[in-house]
Amino acid sequence: MDGRVGRLLDLSFHSCPGVDANAEIARVRAEYELEFGRAHGYEVVIPADAQAVDWQVLPRFAHHLRAKRLRPERCPQVFVAIFFRDMLYFLRSNDFIRHLLDEEHIDFPQIAARIEAWKRTHERPTVLALPHPDE
């Protein structure tokens, strides 16, 4: 596989047809639980025609890790399952993060700024309560 997506998927430690996703994710999770005592999985879908991973994937993933009280720079108990075309690829979180950092030419301290930029572009609008029909 060529290009930026290909370089990312070359880092996978396991792959399988996408139709086997549920069983394989469960199997990898069980292996991680044995090795690390606990396991977290994170799923990413890369569109079939993508030339690179969307810039929002890294801050979204880092935000997810922080919500789980995990640090992006040190989270060996996390694996990433990437759906691309008809296949599923499994990467260690550290390999996934390092690749994205290298592709974006940033380092770990800059992840926080990326999270904040992502949050600003994805803020939810204020929801106003509508009056009750009987009022």
**Tens digit of pLDDT per residue, the chain (135 long)?**
668 899 999 999 999 999 999 999 999 999 999 999 999 999 999 998 888 887 778 888 888 888 888 888 888 999 999 999 999 999 999 999 888 888 888 887 777 777 777 777 765 544 445 555 665
Q: Residue 58: what pLDDT?
A: 82
> Coil, helix or strand for 82?
strand
Q: Residue 39: what pLDDT?
A: 94
Q: Residue 106: what pLDDT?
A: 81
As a whole number of angstroms, the distance between CA 42 and CA 90 comes to 10
Q: Residue 25: what pLDDT?
A: 97
* pTM greater than 0.75: yes
Could you give the strand order of the β-sheet that contains 87-92, starting from the edge strand earlier in sequence? 14-17, 87-92, 78-84, 40-46
